[in-house]
Amino acid sequence: MSKPDQLIFMSSTQDLSVLRQQIKELESQTRRMDPTKAEWTDWLTEVNSYLNEFLVDTREGPAYRQPEPGKSQEEYTFSLSTNGESLSNALDEMREWVDYSGLNPASGGHLAYIPGGGVLPSALGDLMAAVTNRYAGVAFANPGAVALEHFLIRWMAQVFGFPESTGGNLSSGGSIANLIAITTARDAQGVRPSDYERLVIYGSARMHHCLHKALRIAGLGFSPLREIALDERQRMIPEDLDRQIRHDKEIGLLPFLIIGSAGTTDTGSIDPLDALADIAEQENIWFHIDAAYGGFFYLLPEMKLRLKGISRAQSLVIDPHKGLFLPYGTGAVLIRNIHQLHASQYYQANYMQDAAQADLGWSPADLSPELTKHFRGLRMYMALKLFGIQTFEHALAEKIALCQYFHHAVQDLGFAVGPFPELSVTHFRWAPKGRDLNTVNRWIMGRIHEDGRVFLSSTTLEGQIWIRLAVLSFRSKFRHIEETLKMLKDIVSKLPEND
């Protein structure tokens, strides 16, 4: 068999019999890319065994294993070979270098950041999506796949009280979802490049950093960004927003975008969404809500008052990989007017003219920057289909209860706490008199990571370091909270007397 670089490719004078022979030889070499039923079954059996081993460790083992000190990425000995290797070799590399070191986001002891989910029915959906390889970007290519994703968008629109005119997209996460919302707002408002330096954006110091990135990517990095003052619960103060807007109009600027948060990453705070919506409507300003973390708590009847106003947003971002416990890579954006979304994201290429003529309704490729996209809807649909919506409601209620329990119990250990949690994030710190509190709490964080049974993170609020507990893993249970409290009690009992 000729090597690939020695192949004689077709030319106007080439003998077709030579080319036919080359094709046959190549075909014999590429058959292995489509394994037999027996080979595929063996692979599935081996992977299933590996995953069961991982799940046992996830349920019983630590949430965090500190990587080897000083080990650089170049020392991770991944390898490729010319002729391929066994699946066992690949799984050995995963076991040694990937799945058993660092933070395990699948663990119930992952109580840091805002945990991603990973419910197992979603893995079945991803397997089916990968094997069937359905293209869910254009309705012409697979009307059913696109219809499934539109069904999920409509379901979310109904959950949040959005009108039938709503459009949206299942994105890779909150970052792209927020970018879609901001570019749609920009285009729907008829913004021109000459306007950028006069456009004013209103948010808060707790606004997620992906929004800052989205604003910059959308060309709005040159626009003034006003950080509105926060109250004692870290929520935007509407009166301050109103004053700032009136001041900006007086000096000739163009108030353009209000960004509210329904569950900030730092503190879990919920801005007064209804009051912000009132101001946005009064001033004819686009109102965007980042509810990537907190949005799906709206499924709970008792949370509807706390999140009142979420249905009045012109654009809304929610992350199913947070509040619905799906695997990382599942975000969503809802735009109140699908025509505005389409006008902002649509582009027609000549080679796609057959798809356009089919007239099968809205296509995701025309409602987001992505053309090629994973069939994300299947992972979401399988989880909701198998478990039912009420299971997710119970899980969300459980996370709120666990966080509230911890907030009370950690005070009994002598820790100072922040405000009572609105969702499932709370922050606390050790605050002995006469000590450098930042140094003390850095030391505690170091011991938490060394222990590894559970994983917490820290944040800085007004220059002070606080330890955060964020409960949103579907595997987080009462025993993880009790284990966290026991670990903290052990740690502070060994606190050095001097900084």
- CATH top class, domain 124-387: alpha beta
Can you give the pLDDT at residue 361? 82
Q: How far apart are CA 380 and CA 224, in angstroms?
A: 38
Q: What is the pTM of this model?
A: 0.93
Whether 68 has a pLDDT exceeding 90, the answer reads: no
Among candidate residues 479, 451, 402, the one with its CA nearest the CA of residue 62: 451
Sequence-separated (6 or more) residues with CB below 8 Å from residue 75: none
Q: Are 472 and 323 in contact (CB under 8 A)?
A: yes
Residue 90 DSSP symbol: H
Can you give the pLDDT at residue 256? 97
Whether 351 has a pLDDT exceeding 70, the answer reads: no
Q: How far apart are CA 67 and CA 101, in angstroms?
A: 6
- Percent of the chain exceeding pLDDT 90 equals 85
Fold (CATH) for 389-493: Aspartate Aminotransferase, domain 1 (3.90.1150)
pLDDT band at 12 (very low <50, low <70, confident <90, very high): low
One-character DSSP codes across 174-205: HHHHHHHHHHHHHHHTT--GGGGGGEEEEE-T
Among candidate residues 219, 173, 178, the one with its CA nearest the CA of residue 197: 219
User: What's the whole-number mean pLDDT along residues 323-352?
Assistant: 91
Q: What is the mean pLDDT of the chain?
A: 93
Domain boundaries, the chain: 124-387, 389-493
Sign of CA dihedral 33, 91, 320, 56: positive
